[in-house]
């Protein structure tokens, strides 16, 4: 598979997060000769928060994680992930597979099953070959190491063309708090999360309830503002684990909130940059809306429009299609108060193309890899930003034969 042209140069060096150990390996769930299972062990006292897909047909692991979230128990925590098969729409067998994996991990680590969170990502509707996975658990436990995060990022990939990771540090009262995160996802990506698995680790100290609130708030500004293809996965899971090992209480810390926001936004952008077939990274900024909710509606309508996305794939500054997408969004809009910009280029205003706009400038702008489409609705102060990619032949090629 060709690496996305929008990929970062290299996987970053991520700091060790005290209290977190990783292991990964190849269980042969679906892929041959590549890592497809990841185990994370979190030290005793770690608080864990999670946000999950709202799909009505969510997967067995998601349902299991949700049932365990917020339970307070002493002792260590484990996260176990496989790629290649999502264990979604697998009926009663799906639940049995989750239980089998949790039991195997519990036995090998001596962690309580209620503190073992699993995730599965990949094809929907096929029985998870959990025996193959369980056969690897002892090896994984033996391999646990504070340095394994880069390999873990590889093990959770499906159609991803690059592993995704980022980190941040923040100094609070003279003490350093570290955050490191990994993510996977490149198709079936839309708000209410995506085919995404995201794991963020920090040595900060924070209660489960506060971490959960913070995670939910920041998800709405990051992962819920990206879309590749408007399709929402049955498996989306975002978890954040705070080991407390730094000894720094970050409750209501603005610095920690900003650092976590930066990590989550960076990972969300990396998911878009790996959008299936993507050649352009697009930021859609909406201002002047009747409300923030209306701004989001307009942003998503533009970002999800196949006609806008194919025009951008063709490097065509087809602002008429942006007008169309605004019109269909359901948000309050007035043709004659709209302003549309490509980057700094004023394209349209007062219900028509701007007198200063030159098509040559628009065409030149569209040749860039990172694009900004800014729409001001001229109604009130509602704001919102959404990130997406173009819709290209690559998306069709990848998805017309994903299973074969």
Structure tokens at 11: 């996987």
Contacts of 34 (CB under 8 A, 6+ apart): 26, 154
Which CB atom, from 60 or from 157, has the smaller least distance to its own copies? 60
CB of 318 to its own copies, least distance (A): 6
Minimum distance of its own copies from residue 252's CB (angstroms): 34
Q: Which is nearer to its own copies, 19 or 384 (CB)?
A: 384
Is 195 a catalytic site residue?
Answer: yes
Taking the complex as a whole, the smallest distance from the CB of residue 390 to its own copies amounts, in Å, to: 9
- Choice between 11 and 89, CB closer to its own copies: 89
**Residue 15 beta carbon to its own copies: minimum distance, rounded to whole angstroms:** 36
Between 199 and 395, name the residue whose CB sits nearer to its own copies.
395
Least Å distance, CB 321 to its own copies, is 7
Give the residue from 403, 368, 343 showing the smallest Cα distance to 5: 368
Contact 315, 279 (CB under 8 A): no
- Nearer to its own copies by C-beta: 42 or 278? 278
Quote the least distance from Cβ 189 to its own copies, whole Å: 10
Catalytic site residue from 46, 77, 90, 195 = 195
Least distance in angstroms from the C-beta of 374 to its own copies: 17
DSSP track, 166-230: EEEEEEETTEEEEEEEEEE--SSB-SS-BS-EEEEEE--B--HHHHHHHHHHHHHHTGGGB-SSS
Q: How many helices (H) and strands (E) does the chain have?
A: 12, 15
Q: Which is nearer to its own copies, 137 or 188 (CB)?
A: 188
CA-closest candidate to residue 196, choices 208, 187, 184, 205: 184
330 CB contacts (<8 Å, ≥6 apart)? Answer: 297, 301
Residues 187, 111: contact at Cβ < 8 Å? Answer: no
230 vs 398: CA distance, rounded Å: 16
164-172 and 175-184 as β-strands: parallel, antiparallel, unpaired?
antiparallel
Q: Does the CA dihedral 125-127-132-135 come out positive or negative?
A: positive
Q: Helices 306-313 and 292-304: crossing angle, nearest 10°? A: 60
Which residue's CB is nearer to its own copies, number 61 or number 187?
A: 187
| Among 338, 302, 337, CA closest to 322 | 302
Q: Are 159 and 398 in contact (CB under 8 A)?
A: yes
Question: What is the set of active-site residues?
Answer: 195
């Amino acid at each position: 598979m060709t690496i996305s042209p929008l990929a970062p140069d290299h996987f970053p060096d991520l700091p060790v997060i005290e209290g977190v150990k990783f292991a990964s390996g190849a269980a042969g769930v679906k892929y041959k000769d590549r890592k497809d299972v990841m185990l994370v062990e979190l030290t005793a006292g770690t608080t864990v928060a999670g946000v999950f897909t709202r799909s009505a047909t969510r997967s067995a692991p998601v349902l299991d994680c949700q049932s365990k979230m917020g339970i307070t128990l002493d002792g260590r925590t484990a996260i176990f992930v496989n790629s290649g098969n999502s264990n979604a729409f697998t009926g009663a067998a799906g639940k049995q597979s989750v239980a089998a994996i949790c039991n195997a991990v519990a036995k090998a680590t001596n962690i309580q099953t209620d503190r073992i969170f699993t995730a599965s990502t990949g094809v929907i509707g096929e029985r998870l070959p959990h025996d193959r996975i369980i056969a690897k658990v002892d090896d994984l436990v033996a391999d646990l190491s504070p340095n394994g995060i880069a390999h873990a990022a590889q093990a959770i990939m499906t159609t991803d063309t690059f592993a995704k990771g980022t980190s941040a540090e923040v100094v609070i009262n003279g003490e350093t708090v570290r955050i490191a995160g990994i993510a996977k996802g490149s198709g079936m990506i839309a708000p209410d999360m995506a085919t995404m698995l995201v794991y963020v680790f920090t040595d900060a100290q924070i209660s489960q309830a506060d971490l959960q609130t913070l995670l939910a708030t920041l998800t709405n500004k990051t992962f819920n503002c990206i879309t590749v293809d408007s399709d929402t996965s049955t498996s989306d899971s975002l978890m954040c684990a705070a080991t407390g090992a730094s000894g720094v209480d970050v409750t209501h810390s603005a610095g920690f909130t900003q650092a976590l926001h930066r990590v989550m936004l960076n990972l969300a952008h990396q998911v878009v940059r790996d959008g299936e077939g993507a050649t352009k990274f697009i930021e859609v900024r909406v201002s002047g809306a009747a409300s923030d909710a209306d701004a989001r509606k307009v942003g998503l309508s533009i970002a999800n429009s196949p006609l806008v996305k194919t025009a951008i794939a063709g490097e065509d500054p087809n602002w008429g299609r942006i007008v169309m997408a605004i019109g269909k969004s359901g948000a309050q809009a007035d043709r004659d108060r709209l302003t549309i910009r490509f980057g700094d280029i004023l394209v349209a205003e007062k219900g028509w193309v701007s007198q200063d706009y030159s098509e040559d400038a628009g065409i030149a702008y569209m040749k860039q890899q990172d694009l900004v489409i800014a729409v001001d609705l001229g109604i009130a102060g509602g704001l919102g930003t959404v990130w997406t990619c173009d819709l290209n032949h690559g998306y069709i090629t990848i998805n017309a034969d994903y299973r074969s």
